[in-house]
């Protein structure tokens, strides 16, 4: 069973940057698109960025131009570089396979506040 471990979250000021990492266990990482999601209390989890097997990327309008998703298949790892952070980016961030959702990891908290 695939397990995801997210890391890199922190508290930052508006305009700051963070780089999140997601390590997936198992041998199927290379076969699937990988997505970064975020969730705030009381709201549904939303997909903010995804990267396909061929490294084609897609972004939610709310993060386009500020976030960059990438993957390193040799390390079973996906990254989310977040720049120009805004208070509305505050959330718990998770990764998963959008086309084959597996059990969720613990996520990593990102807080953007002055």
108 strand-pairing partners: 93
- Residue 1 class from Cβ within 10 Å (0-12 exposed, 13-18 middle, 19+ buried)? exposed
- pLDDT, mean of residues 100-109: 96
Euclidean distance between CA atoms 16 and 78, whole angstroms: 20
11 strand-pairing partners: 111
Phi-psi region of 51 (alpha: psi -120 to 50; beta: other; left: phi over 0): beta
- pLDDT, mean of residues 13-28: 95
Q: What is the pLDDT of residues 88-101, one digit of tens each?
A: 999 999 999 999 99
**Six-digit token pair at 61?**
């309008």
């Amino acid at each position: 069973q695939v397990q995801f471990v997210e890391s890199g979250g922190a508290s930052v000021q508006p305009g700051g940057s963070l780089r999140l990492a997601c390590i997936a266990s198992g041998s199927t990482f290379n076969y699937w698109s990988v997505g970064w999601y975020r969730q705030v209390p009381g709201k549904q989890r939303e997909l903010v960025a995804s990267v396909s097997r061929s490294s084609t990327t897609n972004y939610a309008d709310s993060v386009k131009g500020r976030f960059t998703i990438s993957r390193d298949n040799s390390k079973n790892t996906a990254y989310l570089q977040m720049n120009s952070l805004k208070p509305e980016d505050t959330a718990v961030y998770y990764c998963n396979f959008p086309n084959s959702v597996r059990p969720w990891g613990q996520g990593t908290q990102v807080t953007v506040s002055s």
